[in-house]
A and B are shown apart, each in its own frame.
Chain A
Amino acid sequence: NAGVTQTPKFRVLKTGQSMTLLCAQDMNHEYMYWYRQDPGMGLRLIHYSVGEGTTAKGEVPDGYNVSRLKKQNFLLGLESAAPSQTSVYFCASTAGGDTQYFGPGTRLTVL
């Protein structure tokens, strides 16, 4: 049981490039989330999903898109990366109870 995994662990992009971050969970959780973590600001919710085929905007959705085609996967896309998107990105999932389970994070740098 791997829990929540994220791919890749690190990435450096140039401004304007695109990329997709993959989150996978093997706990059969309905809910999945993407957060970004910036110094002194805690974690802020980007997008979330309450089930396969559904997505919704969180607190800071601009510049990101998501898809949940399979229950176990939640993809976060950056179509045209900007330096302001330099951050650490965390994925999380939950079965619908209180506790969210987090992945190890992806450190993204946009030059």
Chain B
Amino acid sequence: GDSVTQMEGPVTLSEEAFLTINCTYTATGYPSLFWYVQYPGEGLQLLLKATKADDKGSNKGFEATYRKETTSFHLEKGSVQVSDSAVYFCALNNNAGNMLTFGGGTRLMVKP
């Protein structure tokens, strides 16, 4: 079946550091790929998405490129802020009932 693998956290960075959170997937066909963010005490919010190979999703300074050749969708940000501290989830939708398959989540902690 489909699966998503994320790097384990926590990831601890200083403010203004460069961020990469790795995500790879296993799926048949051509899934859509997502990054969701969960701030403390809240539900998940969509951060960005990409629906086909080589698409780049971007939002709030974050970006990720759908790489079919490496089955990856790594999340990057050039300069993180304390307010980016949250848990980040990579997910895919393979159009089977519009269901999402999630990775285990990566906690990001940004220190001033």
Residues of chain A touching chain B, judged by Cβ–Cβ distance below 8 Å, are 4, 31, 33, 40-45, 48, 50, 56, 58, 90, 92, 94, 96-105
Q: Establish whether residues A40 and B104, one from each chain, have CB atoms under 8 Å apart when the complex forms.
A: yes
Which 6 pairs show the lowest CB-CB distances between chains A and B? A102-B43, A42-B102, A102-B44, A42-B104, A43-B102, A104-B43
User: Would you give the 0/1 interface string for B75-109, flagging 1 where the beta carbon is closer than 8 Å to chain A?
Assistant: 00000000000000100010001111011110000
Taking CB atoms, residues of chain B closer than 8 Å to A48 are: 97, 99
Q: Establish whether residues A99 and B49, one from each chain, have CB atoms under 8 Å apart when the complex forms.
A: yes
**Count of inter-chain pairs, beta carbons less than 8 A:** 57
Taking CB atoms, residues of chain B closer than 8 Å to A45 are: 99-100
Taking CB atoms, residues of chain A closer than 8 Å to B34 are: 98-99
Question: What would 17 more interface pairs be, CB under 8 Å, given A42-B89, A45-B99, A90-B43?
Answer: A4-B43, A31-B97, A40-B104, A42-B103, A43-B44, A43-B89, A43-B102, A48-B99, A50-B97, A56-B97, A98-B98, A100-B100, A102-B43, A102-B44, A104-B42, A104-B43, A105-B43
Q: Establish whether residues A98 and B45, one from each chain, have CB atoms under 8 Å apart when the complex forms.
A: no
Q: Which single residue of chain B is at the shortest CB-CB distance from A3?
A: B43
Task: Give the interface size class of chain B.
Answer: 20 to 34
Taking CB atoms, residues of chain A closer than 8 Å to B89 are: 42-43
- The answer, yes or no, to whether B46 is at the interface (CB within 8 Å) is yes
Q: Establish whether residues A98 and B43, one from each chain, have CB atoms under 8 Å apart when the complex forms.
A: no
Taking CB atoms, residues of chain A closer than 8 Å to B22 are: none
Taking CB atoms, residues of chain A closer than 8 Å to B99 are: 33, 45, 48, 58
- The answer, yes or no, to whether B32 is at the interface (CB within 8 Å) is yes
Q: Which of B36, B93, B97 has the most CB of A within 10 A?
A: B97
- The answer, yes or no, to whether B51 is at the interface (CB within 8 Å) is yes
A10, chain B: closest CB distance, angstroms: 11
9 residue pairs A–B, Cβ–Cβ below 8 Å: A31-B98, A42-B102, A43-B100, A44-B102, A48-B99, A50-B97, A98-B34, A101-B46, A102-B44
